[in-house]
Amino acid sequence: MAEHPHAALVRKGYEAFGRGDMETLADLMTGDCVHHAPGESQMSGHVKGRENILAHFAKLMELTNGTFRVELLDVYPDGRGHVMSVHKWHGDRGDRGIEMKGGLFFTIVGDKMTDVDECVADIDESDAFWGQAE
């Protein structure tokens, strides 16, 4: 059986992110897409707009000196415009490293990502890793 198109869209996004291909990633989102990141760190909150989301991703790389990476574990579409992904993310920041499971819940309209809700296995540990704005 062929993979559901929404699952394929999410996989394509993860692949683009992993390559640093922000142009492809941008093409997969609507202009008014919103990314919701959990916690109380400098990387938490609601990021509105494709360009701001891409800047958020650039900050992940900046804060980790380019070590931030995500390993996609699985993708689950519901066939009604939602996809849930499960992944493991890694990064090094200063003298501290992190490896944590997490996931994203995507809303897809017209074959574009319109809303992305992020979840992490340990919000407090994630907050401690990212810290507050400097």
| pLDDT, tens only, 48-70 | 999 999 999 999 999 999 999 99
Give the strand pairing for 29-37 and 112-120. parallel
> What's the token pair of residue 134?
């400097």
Please report, for the domain that includes residue 108, its CATH number: 3.10.450.50
Q: Residue 112 belongs to what domain range?
A: 5-130
Matching residue, tokens 């407090």: 124
| Closest residue by Cα to residue 53 from 78, 34, 28 | 34
| pLDDT, tens only, 82-96 | 999 999 999 999 999
The structural domain count of the chain equals: 1
pTM, full prediction: 0.94
